[in-house]
Amino acid sequence: MTGPAGTEPAEPAQGPAAGEPDQLELPGMPAPRRRPAPGAQAVTAADDLPVARVVVEVPVLRLDHTYDYLVPVSMADGVTAGVRVKVRFGAQDVDGYVLERLATSEHEGTLRPLRRLVSTEPVLPNASARLCRVVAEHYAGSMSDVVRLAVPPRHARTEDEPLAEAAVTTGEQPHNGSRSPMAPDGPAPGASAPHGSAPTDAGPWSGLAGGEAFLRHAASGAAVRGVWTALPGRWTAGGSVLADDGWEDMVARAVRVVRDSGRGVLVVLPDARDVDRLSRALDAAGLRDATASGRTLPDDVGRAHGYVRLLADDGPAQRYRAFLAALRGHARVVIGTRAAAFAPVAELGLAVVWEDDDPLHAEQRAPYPHVREVLALRSEAEGCALLVAGLGRSVEAQALVRSGWAHEIGAARAVVRERAPRVRALTRVEVAREGPAAVARIPSAAWRIAREGLAQGPVLVQVPRAGYVPVTACGTCREPADCPDCHGPLGLASGSSTPQCRWCGRLAAAWSCPRCHGSTLRSVLVGSERTAEELGRAFTNVPVRISGARSAGGVLATVSGASALVVATPGAEPVAAGGYAAALLLDAGVATAGTQLRTRQDAVRRWLTAASLVRPATAGGVVAVVGDGDEVVTGALVRWDPAGLADRELDERVELGLPPAVRVGALTGPRQAVMAVLAETTLPPGATVLGPVPVTPADGGAPVLGGELGDVRAIVRAPRGEGRLLAASLRAGVAGRGARRGAGTVRLHMDVADLV
């Protein structure tokens, strides 16, 4: 089956000019408008199930449905559900996937034959096809677009690589297996082991409210859903780390438990560094990385405990190899980045998304699916358990908890206090006590924390990313300025003194601050970065390590436990052996400034990520939040209460009618086209339209949100209960005629993260 799979053409090479048989014309009748199907009579169809139902890869919403083709005898055996084919579509050759074989077609016209069977590998098995369909409907997109995200590009050489036997001769064994606290301690259950027979050793999960029950249910095949807020690992002052309760060890344990029950597991993480971190924990838990070979040992241990890493970063060959290993069932555990959310995992028992609030989990290609949503849909479609996890708590996850769809899993307050570092907020109020000396951006208290920390080990300094964050705020009290009508952020075009809402477009000529009644607005533009240099100069006898995507040394994964200043941008914080003695989170005002819905959540997530690398308060760990940050966010960190922040944020979203309390769809395109779509769309009850507003700033700046110059954007929102209807109606509207007549295409983006 890995041979020269079906490469023979379905018909002799031909084009319109190659003398194909013309359809007979009736005298006196107008010539048929449609070109005759080329070669329709030139092939013999398969005897058994001669019809293939195909989803074609065309990017047009209006054409997004299945099409029936004839299966030529020559492909009778190879064409099965999920295989890639080439078909004639209109006047062009396109790629497609066979969904099923049928005895007859409901199509009235004549069927054209499949042109080519690309490969017999069923890369879009039924479960994947169903998932793609569901995701497409949820996001009002085309199945074809989703399939393109779900199935990696084919790599023919990889497909032809020899199978498992070769792995025996390489003689690789699971590394670290023997010294793992969770090494296999008996005959490992193979893929066919009876479900639910394995004992559940929940390990550190038993210390969490709801933790053990979640794992037990997941292992028994129940579709339980949990939202878990993780705590920092148990760093110790001596520089050693207890190896079994960092988040990666916890996830590895969950993987192992569900895997031992005979089911597959899928874990999706934001980036390659997190995948690496989990990889190491899986290795320690007695699982084996089978990515490089794409195979596992052909014995029970290998088959039961192999996992593959599925990352676009790894390149096309490696990615396809890992995909095939999962597809063929050689590995039943898949870990990877966002596209892995679609990975074919047989008998999926548990899907995990780590740090579900990380923006990297949001796909940037249409129809912009989010990993958390894909896995949630998967949980419903495949009946698998779902774990939404992170150091923080997304508003969306909180909504799942509040609605009762998911259970909360978390540690008791006492445990939180025992694990978290002490967090001090050095805000304007704090700093003011220092009097005139507080002019410096780094107050003396922060210098002291850094100095004392350096005596005990490495000190992390988190600096907001370089660049500018445009904020409009009250000129008097600095409260961010809201639209009086819809609470969107007010923008201020340069040269103009009339603020305009960036959501609904209304002019707020007579704006006054609801807090202090000031009437002036200021644009706040803050840069940062030189702070790190200042620090370096201040501690001349201490090594300074810099970690950041744009820094010379790139992103560091780890640093030693030796005293050093480690300056990092958010997301690039190295893990320190034994944990950091202290951390300074600088420019808190910049970190929490922003006009987007997720600004607060982003800030607290970045801070939690850094702070979780610091030793607990009981071991002297201290975190200083330096600067004039949002009090709510700062308070959430000080109390180490991300769930509380999310809960409060959700209250606010409910009150203001913002996602995830409502569902929204953004329509972007030329004004005429957007208006035409809106006019032709029958909106669900309770739906409202914001805008349209130009996506190009009035001051001639670069277009935002990926729009073309002159494009506008309208936001349509509807109560969550009408979400499906909203998606369906917008989809119909965009697919309809209006979009085309209005000269220009309208793009639809459901559940946009930022309404600006």
Binding site for DNA (CB under 7 A): 16, 30-31, 33-35, 37, 58-60, 62-63, 67-70, 87-92, 105, 107, 109, 111-112, 737, 741, 745
Q: Quick one: which of 157, 165, 118, 159 has its CA closest to 9?
A: 118
Of 57 and 751, which has the nearer Cβ to DNA?
57
Beta carbon of residue 143, minimum distance to DNA (angstroms, whole number): 15
Backbone torsion region of residue 290, taken as left when φ is above 0, otherwise alpha when ψ lies between -120 and 50, otherwise beta: alpha
Q: Which two tokens stand for residue 393?
A: 């708590």
Beta carbon of residue 209, minimum distance to DNA (angstroms, whole number): 51
Give the other-Cβ count within 10 Å of 125's Cβ: 17
- Could you tell me if 68 and 51 are in contact, meaning their C-beta atoms sit under 8 angstroms apart? yes
Of 99 and 586, which has the nearer Cβ to DNA?
99
115, with CB counted inside 10 A (0-12, 13-18, 19+), is buried
Residue 17: partners with Cβ closer than 8 Å, 6 or more residues away = none
Beta carbon of residue 17, minimum distance to DNA (angstroms, whole number): 9
Beta carbon of residue 52, minimum distance to DNA (angstroms, whole number): 9
CA distance 314 to 17: 44
CA distance 252 to 107: 50
Which secondary-structure segment (H or E) carries 497? none
Q: Which two tokens stand for residue 353?
A: 């998304």
| E strand intervals along 418-571 | 422-426, 459-462, 471-474, 490-491, 500-501, 521-524, 544-547, 558-559, 565-568
Beta carbon of residue 579, minimum distance to DNA (angstroms, whole number): 51
Of 116 and 273, which has the nearer Cβ to DNA?
116
Beta carbon of residue 277, minimum distance to DNA (angstroms, whole number): 40
504, with CB counted inside 10 A (0-12, 13-18, 19+), is buried
- Could you tell me if 252 and 287 are in contact, meaning their C-beta atoms sit under 8 angstroms apart? yes
Of 136 and 399, which has the nearer Cβ to DNA?
136
Beta carbon of residue 320, minimum distance to DNA (angstroms, whole number): 25
Of 59 and 543, which has the nearer Cβ to DNA?
59
Of 33 and 537, which has the nearer Cβ to DNA?
33
Of 71 and 409, which has the nearer Cβ to DNA?
71
Task: Give the 3-state secondary structure of 662-685.
Answer: EEEEEEEEEHHHHHHHHHHCCCCC
Of 90 and 514, which has the nearer Cβ to DNA?
90
Beta carbon of residue 56, minimum distance to DNA (angstroms, whole number): 8
- Could you tell me if 483 and 750 are in contact, meaning their C-beta atoms sit under 8 angstroms apart? no
Q: Which two tokens stand for residue 217?
A: 């249910």
Of 515 and 741, which has the nearer Cβ to DNA?
741
Of 23 and 176, which has the nearer Cβ to DNA?
23
- Could you tell me if 507 and 499 are in contact, meaning their C-beta atoms sit under 8 angstroms apart? yes
Beta carbon of residue 13, minimum distance to DNA (angstroms, whole number): 16
CA distance 684 to 147: 28
- Could you tell me if 212 and 205 are in contact, meaning their C-beta atoms sit under 8 angstroms apart? yes
Beta carbon of residue 471, minimum distance to DNA (angstroms, whole number): 36
